[in-house]
C-alpha cells in the first residue's frame, strides 16, 4: 500500500464497524498497475475483497479527470451483484504536487430496504412518488464487483428493454442496426474501457472483434 494511504487504510475497518454492516468502505491504491482494493470493510455488499480491480465507472471518473474540479463525487447509483440498489460516494485522495490521485476511498450504502419501505409507506399514505435527482435514469450506473460477463449481460438487457425488444429474442439474432445500438449503449457505460470487453461483446453478438471496432467508429 502506498505510504500516504496507510492512515486511510487504518480507518477502513473502523468506519465499517461504526457505520454498520449495511455500509461498505473500500480503499483503492491508484499507484499500482491494477489500482486494486487494498483495504475493505463489509465487502459482502459488493462481493469484493482485497485485490479487486476498479469498476467501469471509477475508470470513467479517472479518465474524465473528475478529480481536477472535485475532491469527491456524491450520490451516484450503483448495484450490488445481487441487484440491490446502493447509494455511493467516492473521495479522491491527492498528494501535494501530483495531479493524478494516489487513491480513492469509496463508500457504498445498501438502500434497497429503505427504498422498499419508503415506497410502501407512500402507497399507504397516498403520496405520489418522485425520483431523487441522484437516481435519475440518465445517471451512470456502476455494477460493483460483477464479473465482466455479468456486467455486459446486465447492460445488454437494459439496452434491449429501452429498445422495446422482447426478452425472448436472442441477442445474436438482432439486426445490424440493433447491434450497433447495443454497442453504443455499452460504450456509454464505459464497458470497453475494461480489458477483454471487445472480445466478450463480439462473442455475445455473434460478430467478429473487427466488426465491434467498426461499430464503434460509427459513433
According to the model, what pLDDT value does residue 138 have?
40
* pLDDT tens track for 103-147: 999 999 888 766 656 666 666 667 665 544 333 334 445 555 556
- Give the integer Cα–Cα distance in Å for 9 and 1: 9
According to the model, what pLDDT value does residue 93 have?
96
pLDDT in tens, the chain (219 residues): 999 999 999 999 999 999 988 899 999 999 998 899 999 999 988 888 999 888 777 887 888 888 998 899 888 777 776 667 788 899 999 999 999 999 999 999 888 766 656 666 666 667 665 544 333 334 445 555 556 777 788 889 889 989 998 878 888 889 999 999 999 999 887 788 777 889 999 999 999 999 999 999 887
Overall pTM surpassing 0.75 (yes/no):
no
- Give the integer Cα–Cα distance in Å for 81 and 104: 21
Question: What structural domains and CATH numbers belong to the chain?
Answer: 3-115 (3.30.450.20), 147-219 (no CATH)
Amino acid at each position: 500500500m502506498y505510504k500516504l494511504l496507510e492512515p486511510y487504510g487504518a480507518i477502513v475497518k473502523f468506519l465499517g464497524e461504526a457505520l454498520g454492516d449495511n455500509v461498505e468502505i473500500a480503499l483503492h491504491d491508484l499507484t499500482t498497475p491494477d489500482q486494486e482494493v487494498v483495504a475493505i470493510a463489509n465487502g459482502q455488499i459488493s462481493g469484493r475483497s482485497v485485490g479487486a480491480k476498479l469498476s467501469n465507472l471509477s475508470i470513467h471518473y479517472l479518465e474524465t479527470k473528475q478529480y481536477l474540479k472535485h475532491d469527491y463525487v456524491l450520490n451516484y447509483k450503483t448495484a450490488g451483484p445481487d441487484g440491490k440498489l446502493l447509494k455511493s460516494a467516492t473521495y479522491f485522495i491527492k498528494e501535494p504536487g501530483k495531479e493524478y490521485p494516489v487513491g480513492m476511498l469509496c463508500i457504498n450504502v445498501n438502500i434497497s430496504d429503505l427504498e422498499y419501505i419508503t415506497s410502501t409507506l407512500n402507497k399507504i399514505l397516498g403520496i405520489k412518488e418522485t425520483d431523487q435527482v441522484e437516481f435519475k435514469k440518465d445517471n451512470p450506473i456502476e455494477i460493483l464487483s460483477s464479473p465482466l460477463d455479468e456486467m455486459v449481460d446486465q447492460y445488454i438487457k437494459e439496452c434491449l428493454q429501452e429498445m422495446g425488444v422482447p426478452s425472448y429474442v436472442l441477442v445474436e439474432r438482432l439486426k445490424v442496426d440493433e447491434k450497433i445500438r447495443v454497442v453504443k449503449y455499452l460504450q456509454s457505460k464505459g464497458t470497453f474501457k475494461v480489458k477483454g470487453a471487445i472480445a466478450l461483446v463480439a462473442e455475445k453478438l455473434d460478430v467478429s472483434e473487427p466488426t465491434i471496432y467498426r461499430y464503434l467508429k460509427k459513433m
